[in-house]
Amino acid sequence: MPVPRCHGAATTTHGQSHGQHDPVVGRPAKYPEEFRREAVALYRGSDRARAEVAKSLGISDGALAAWVKAAERDEAPGALDANERAELERLRKENKDLRMDREILRKAADFARETNR
């Protein structure tokens, strides 16, 4: 299965970012999702070492390793889909923010109690 080499950020014909974001870190993805899937499939269908496949595609071994790990996670029985992972991330952030708000209010109430004595 031939996979095109991909260097640098994925761009449209006007030189603008695809708008795809890496769900893990929230920054624009350096490689298009299709390229990532094809790279993983090429590695899995090959008897070559992962580093060798990565080099032939013009990507780092670490990037390919991360894509393979993500694919394995996504394919695991009972795995969350992309929407569920995004919702979980959103809820975790909201929970963190609410805990911080509660702590601020607790400290403000303690301060108010101390100043009224």
Average pLDDT of the residues in 78-89: 89
Give per-residue pLDDT as tens, 15-44.
434 445 555 555 667 899 999 999 999 999
**Residue 76 has what pLDDT?**
85
Query: 78 pLDDT band (50/70/90 cuts)?
Result: confident
Average pLDDT of the residues in 89-100: 98
CATH of domain 1-79: 1.10.10
Residues 6+ apart with CB under 8 A from 56: 48
> Above 80 in pLDDT, residue 51?
yes
**Residue 11 has what pLDDT?**
39
> What is the C-alpha to C-alpha distance for residues 109 and 90, in angstroms, rounded to an integer?
29
**Residue 90 has what pLDDT?**
97
> Residue 98 CB: number of other CB atoms within 10 A?
10
Q: Does the model's pTM come out above 0.75? A: no
Burial of 76 per CB tally in 10 Å (0-12, 13-18, 19+): exposed
